[in-house]
């Protein structure tokens, strides 16, 4: 949580062009939360280096899950953006939709690779979680186990 004045409380931020991320020092008191948030931020660096096909694959997974009635997410960042979506955003692939897709990828990766198995922000039910874990594993395999950052 940094910064002054009105706005959103944040625990971390990624600055992709600068190849830098910032974490709130208070996270040191909670290793699980530090892991979750740091991984989320790290996966922003992965997201921008994935191919268009890989990003579209994630986007298609989200579309399929929505069509099947999936509710919830694996983190506040994605949940907040999901709540603000309108049907036209999805159809037009608006910026709002694309930001949701990115945040969903990062929150899902933090859930899949992090230390925490339970968290109040993990609201996406099974089997949707399993589908996301499998898709993430496929991306990792495609890169020979080494993700680009």
Tell me, yes or no, whether 20 lies in a domain.
yes
Residue-wise pLDDT for 64-119, tens only, equals: 999 999 999 999 999 999 999 999 999 999 999 999 999 999 999 999 999 899 99
* DSSP tag of 118: -
Residue 5's pLDDT band, with cuts at 50, 70 and 90, is very low
Residue 2's pLDDT band, with cuts at 50, 70 and 90, is very low
Q: Which residues pair with 15 in a beta bridge?
A: 20
Tell me, yes or no, whether 91 lies in a domain.
yes
Q: How far is C-alpha 101 from the geometric centre of its chain's CA atoms?
A: 8
Structure tokens at 115: 């230390």
Tell me, yes or no, whether 56 lies in a domain.
yes
Q: Residue 102: name the closest of 119, 77, 126 by CA.
A: 77
Tell me, yes or no, whether 148 lies in a domain.
no
Q: How far apart are CA 75 and CA 83, in angstroms?
A: 12
Tell me, yes or no, whether 7 lies in a domain.
no
Q: Which residue in this structure is represented by tokens 């999936």?
A: 70
Q: Does the pLDDT at position 120 exceed 90? A: yes
Mean pLDDT check: name the lowest of 2-6, 45-49, 59-63, 123-127.
Answer: 2-6
Residue-wise pLDDT for 8-65, tens only, equals: 566 788 888 888 888 888 888 989 899 999 999 999 999 999 999 999 999 999 999 9
- Mode of pairing for the β-strands spanning 20-23 and 12-15: antiparallel
- Per-residue model confidence (pLDDT) at position 8: 58
Q: Residue 20: helix, strand or coil by DSSP?
A: strand
Q: What is the dihedral of CA 45, 71, 85, 107, to 10 degrees?
A: -10
Q: Under a CB-based contact definition with an 8 Å cutoff, are residues 102 and 47 in contact?
A: yes
Query: Which domain range does residue 63 map to?
Result: 12-142
Structure tokens at 112: 């899949």
- If one counts the domains in the chain, the total is 1
Q: How far apart are CA 54 and CA 50, in angstroms?
A: 6
């Amino acid at each position: 949580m940094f910064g002054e004045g009105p706005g959103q409380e944040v625990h971390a931020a990624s600055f992709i062009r600068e190849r830098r991320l910032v974490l709130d020092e208070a996270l040191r008191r909670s290793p699980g939360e530090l892991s979750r948030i740091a991984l989320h931020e790290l996966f922003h660096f992965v997201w921008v280096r994935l191919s268009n096909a890989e990003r579209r694959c994630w986007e298609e997974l989200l579309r399929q899950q929505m069509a099947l009635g999936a509710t919830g997410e694996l983190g506040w960042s994605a949940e907040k953006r999901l709540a603000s979506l309108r049907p036209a955003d999805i159809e037009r692939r608006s910026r709002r939709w694309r930001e949701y897709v990115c945040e969903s990828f990062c929150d899902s990766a933090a859930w899949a690779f992090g230390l925490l198995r339970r968290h109040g922000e993990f609201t996406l039910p099974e089997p949707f979680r399993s589908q996301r874990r499998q898709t993430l594993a496929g991306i990792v395999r495609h890169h020979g186990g080494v993700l680009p950052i």
